[in-house]
Structure 1
Amino acid sequence: MGKKEEQLLDAATLEWRKTEQGYSLWADHATQPVMHGTFIEQELRPGLALHGTTVSFRQGISGKSEINAGLKLIVMLEGEISAHFGRTHLQLGGAKASCVLLSAQTTQSFKRVVEQAGQQRQVVLTISEDWLAQSGMGDVQDWVAIEELQGPALSSRSWQASPEVLSLAAKLLQTGHASSPLHPLQQESRALNLLLAALQQISPQQPTRLDMRAQQRIQQLLELFHHSPRNDWSLATLSHAVGSNPTTLQKQFRQSTGHSIAEYMRSYRLKLARNELQQGQSVTEAALNAGYNSPANFATAFKRQFGLSPREVRL
């Protein structure tokens, strides 16, 4: 453990206190709080939740947390946070305000680190898989080309926030009209506009015709994947195998097929799983073969693609 890490306080050892001005975190026998500020926690509608913070840290802290399956849009207006998923490190914020989109197939544990004292303003929208499906956005993780962060179970995309995104996020942190009966509707409207503005920044561009070498790479990738569809392929491994780099290969694959690499692999594995179910294999075995550790997540993805549950296909 490095010297810098040793200087961080463990959030689990701190005490939360609530006052009229907001919340604060205190260490034993301290005369001043380690952190103080305001928090917003709102379920805007089932499956769509808002978390907002305007806080000040007097010292760096670290703590453990979890994210649930679905999407999480994070807008860092001010400050910096590090998130550690196993050995994978994700930096949020910094010199320029930024957006991060996280996509989790299952609940993921991570370590959250604020390395030094300073101000922090952050907006987080949590969007469930059910909300995405009901809104006709079940494939949003794929068409915005999110890249694997921790294997297929966790992916991310980071980019610099646009002025529109920053303005909407800042308005979501305002609490001056919280007592108004129209405030919940206003917050939901702002949250939806924020999600729209953020996704529009990273939506795919119109496809262009690929040259012969690029088409050969795509064909080589498809042959490689079709030969070993259950291999734990990563974007980096596939790129190396066909002599390309991850960013270029992902872009060219989408231009050629209309899908991201992850979307194509997931769809193909689900088709194989459907064949296995029709031949009598159990739902659990078919889910594992398709790369899903959770039968529930497998069932959700399966029904989204085929309109039937795995058990209905198996019968």
Structure 2
Amino acid sequence: MAAASGDAGNRADAGHLRVRDFMRHEGIALESPEERLSPDDTLMKGAFLHRELRRGLLLHVSDAIEERAFTATSLLPEELSCIFFLEGSVDLAIGGRRFAFHGEGGLAEGVAIVNSCPEHFARASRGRQHLRHLVVSATPEWLHRDALEAVTDGTGGARLLRNHLAEHRWTLTPRMIDLVRQIFSPSPLVPELRDLYLEGRAVELVAETMAAVLRSDRREAGGATLTRQDAVCLQRAKDFVEAHAGEPMSVEAIAREAGISASGLQRLFRAAESRSVFDYVRNVRLERAFTALGRGEATVQEASAIAGYTSPANFATAFRRRFGIVPTAVRRTGLS
């Protein structure tokens, strides 16, 4: 989750994060309402920490002033992100979903987002503001190796990690509030012990997050689940869309290939993907257009056709809504 949130590497107390600090990382693209940004222009200044505490367990802390409005875009890997906002506002877009975070000097809510497969990620800052937030990110490998056994409901924990782009919000316990504050204001320690101190608290935050989410899920249990046959039909439909994304298609044609009625297919996509069949098709085509632009294989006009748009203006609007960045910026920076 911190992939495009302002880290300039695996270090602390960076002081100033400039345009060049973002751009030296492969796969990150920047966009700003300011027409001209030089590599030496400062985007953020203050205290930062971005540290891999253990393989697969990352901690990102910001206590900084954002000097300018900007959008940073990158590819987000598979991970569980535990997010705690104390101050400031940030908008995120991951895949086809949007998330908003806001803090006003206090800490009352935790947010967990599950990303079960790599997705395009855009982080938008609204302009000059004081930003204080903490993110603990854990890969599936770390979670399966080090965390699931610490959760009473291990089966539920594994199921949680497969719930792509699920967002969970809950009221923090006094212990979690204390853990976040300890990370922001650690006791004076010799450098050799600081990472161990931070790791212990980060691990506890992940465990507390998973426990809170699982408790919430149990309270809300009882929703519809897909049968095995439903899952087979859904996968057939997705495979057909992937294979024929560049061709005209109808819900009826997709349903016929999947072996289900058109209304049944719409029901499956609503239940499993939280979107209509054509929303899914549109996203597949936009993903292909993004990849073609990022690799330099298509102009904006050609990418518009790949995505199924006859109007470049409509394409640009849909593209920005999906990825948080305009097509020309992706082509200019070569993000893919």
Residues 1-315 of structure 1 mapped to structure 2, 5 A cutoff? 22-25=15-18, 28=37, 33-95=42-104, 97=107, 98-135=109-146, 137=148, 142-143=156-157, 153-174=164-185, 177=188, 179-204=190-215, 221=224, 225-232=227-234, 237=267
Distance in 1 (CA, whole Å) between partners of 2:12 and 2:112 is: 32
Q: Which residue is equivalent to 1:282? A: none
Q: Give the SS at the match of 1:203.
A: helix
Distance 1:21 1:143 in 2: 36
Structure 1 residues 164 and 20 mapped into 2: Cα distance closer, same or farther (>3 Å)? closer
Gapped runs of 5+ residues in structure 1? 1-10, 247-315
Paired amino acid for 1:227 = Q
Give me the whole-angstrom Cα distance separating, in 1, the residues matched to 2:232 and 2:86.
Answer: 41
CA distance in 1, matches of 2:156, 2:91: 25
Structure 2 gaps, min length 5: 20-35, 236-265, 275-336
Shift of 1:93: 2.7
CA offset at residue 80 of structure 1? 1.6
- Is contact 2:16-2:42 (8 Å) kept? no
Letter in 1 for 2:54: R
TM-score by length of 2: 0.51
Supply the AA of the counterpart residue of 1:228: D
Cα separation, partners in 2 of 1:239 and 1:167, compared to 1, 3 Å: farther
C-alpha contact (below 8 Å) 1:147/1:156 kept by paired residues: no
State how far apart, in whole Å, the 2-side matches of 1:21 and 1:206 are: 39
C-alpha distance after superposition, 1:175-210 (max 9, x if no partner): 6636432212111111112223333333327979x9
Change in CA separation of 1:207 and 1:54 when aligned onto 2, cut-off 3 Å:
closer
TM-score normalised by length of structure 1: 0.54
Q: Is the 8 A contact 2:148 2:157 kept in 1?
A: no
- Structure 1 residues 67 and 173, CA, compared in 2 at 3 Å: closer, same or farther? farther
Q: State the 1:75 CA deviation.
A: 1.3
3-state DSSP of counterpart to 2:192: coil
Looking at structure 2, the residues matched to 31 and 78 of structure 1 have their Cα atoms a distance apart, in angstroms, of 26
Show CA shifts across 1:62-99 (max 9, x none): 11023211212111122121111344211123456432
Call closer, same or farther: CA 1:178–1:91 in 2, change over 3 Å.
farther
Q: CA RMSD in A?
A: 4.3
Q: Sort the Cα spacing of 1:158 and 1:51 in 2 relative to 1 into closer, same or farther, 3 A.
A: same
Query: Using the alignment, how far apart are the partners of 2:170 and 2:131 within structure 1?
Result: 18
Quote the residue 1:283 is aligned against: none
Deviation at 1:24, TM superposition (A): 2.9
SS of the aligned residue for 2:185 comes to: coil
Contact in 2 for aligned 1:144/1:204 (Cα 8 Å): no
Aligned residues: 215
Contact 1:144 1:202 in 2 (8 A): no
Distance 1:147 1:71, change over 3 A: closer
Structure 2: distance between partners of 1:229 and 1:20: 48
Contact 1:68 1:104 in 2 (8 A): yes
Query: 2:68 touches 2:127 (CA, 8 Å); kept in 1?
Result: yes
Q: 1:21 to 1:124 in 2, by over 3 A?
A: closer
The letter of the residue matching 2:116 is Q
C-alpha contact 2:13 2:49 (8 A) present in aligned 1: no
**Contact 1:75–1:161 under 8 Å retained in 2:** no
- Alignment partner, residue 30 of structure 2: none
Q: 1:55 to 1:120 in 2, by over 3 A?
A: same
